[in-house]
Structure 1
Amino acid sequence: MEARTVLPGLAALGTLGLLGMATPAAARQDCVGRDTGVRLTVEVGRLKSETGEVTVTIYPSDPSRFLAPRGKLLRLRVPASAPTTEACFNLPKADIYAVAVYHDANGNHDFDRNAVGLPTEGYGFSNDAPSRFGVPSFDSARINVKSGDNTIRVRMRYGK
């Protein structure tokens, strides 16, 4: 008889989870990185297609590491979802960071360029940092991430 009274209670807990009323920890399982209470959600907008994936890279507050080989703090590749794709990161601490994204439409895990070095895939940076004559500076892409939940929007840019 006791099993019958306990099991309906367990079933109700499972139903709450299915209805989206899960615990806060369960709601953040899609974030990459160790949970420190500092989360950054990157919403990448203006994707032209749902082919391939979107690569989102987080850089730490050291300007010399921005866009440098092995300079990243965290990277996440997520399936492209037009017109907006979302990625979530647990960051080590509240601090200054910069974000770079690209639409890896062919899924080769490389940011493709043409023969003269111009991007052939979509790209973008935090603060929509300008990149008209080369890569933007860390200062133009820097964002201040505070404790708790933070969200930024990055607009994807495509070449002509």
Structure 2
Amino acid sequence: MKRVVFLRAGAAALLATLPAYAAEKCEGAPGNGNAKLIVEATALRNAVGEVAFTVYPDDKRRFLAKGGKLARARVSSASPRACFWLKPGHYGIAQYHDENGDHDFNRTLFAPKEGFGFSNDAPTSIGLPAFEAVRTVLPPSGTVIRMRMRYRR
């Protein structure tokens, strides 16, 4: 009898924690007309380190500029997905695979050493994409944006 009570209490305690794990931690806050933006990185070459997602406002002068970001989330490369509560509108999104976890986008003299990508999977054959190529819409209903990680080496 004591064993059954103990098992039921343990099961109840475990079930009580499930909503905390199931709830997605988002940057920002819901309400006030905010919409949920979910970003996912695809085609990672490994699950080492973390992925940094950076959201830029609808202003090409701030895109990839120092201090220009609106929000950033760093997540494990094993589960490369993050979410943000933002006002509906247009944004630019960049991502990079911080394999060594130093919170810096590492480069060689001529090319990135770590994976990177942009909203709309904007092409980057030579140099960085223009803001117009990465500009994407966040509707009032929210959206999910998947971005392919690219590697130069």
Q: Which consecutive aligned stretches of 4+ in structure 1 deviate over 4 angstroms post-superposition?
A: 14-17
For residue 151 of structure 1, the aligned residue among 124, 129, 144 is 144
Q: Name the structure 2 match of 1:107.
A: 101
Work out the CA distance in 2 between the residues paired with 1:39 and 1:97: 13
Q: Name the structure 1 match of 2:52.
A: 55
Q: Name the structure 2 match of 1:95.
A: 89
Q: Name the structure 2 match of 1:120.
A: 113
Q: 1:27–1:68: structure 2 CA closer, same or farther, 3 Å change rule?
A: same
**Identical-residue share of aligned pairs (%):** 47
For residue 32 of structure 1, the aligned residue among 27, 48, 57 is 27
**What displacement does 1:35 show?**
1.7
TM-score by length of structure 2 reads 0.83
**What displacement does 1:148 show?**
2.6
Could you tell me which amino acid in structure 1 is paired with residue 47 of structure 2? E
**What displacement does 1:17 show?**
6.7
Could you tell me which amino acid in structure 1 is paired with residue 27 of structure 2? V
**What displacement does 1:34 show?**
2.1
- After superposition, the C-alpha distances for 1:117-144 in whole angstroms (9 at most, x for unaligned) are 3100000000011111101011000101
SS in 2 for 1:140: helix
**What displacement does 1:73 show?**
0.2
SS in 2 for 1:65: coil
Q: Name the structure 2 match of 1:4.
A: none
Q: Name the structure 1 match of 2:133.
A: 140
- Number of aligned positions between the proteins: 139
Work out the CA distance in 2 between the residues paired with 1:151 and 1:16: 28
Could you tell me which amino acid in structure 1 is paired with residue 28 of structure 2? G
Question: Is the aligned partner of 1:85 residue 2:54?
Answer: no
Work out the CA distance in 2 between the residues paired with 1:139 and 1:17: 43
CA RMSD of aligned residues (A): 2.0
Work out the CA distance in 1 between the residues paired with 2:23 and 2:42: 22
Work out the CA distance in 2 between the residues paired with 1:65 and 1:27: 32
SS in 1 for 2:120: helix
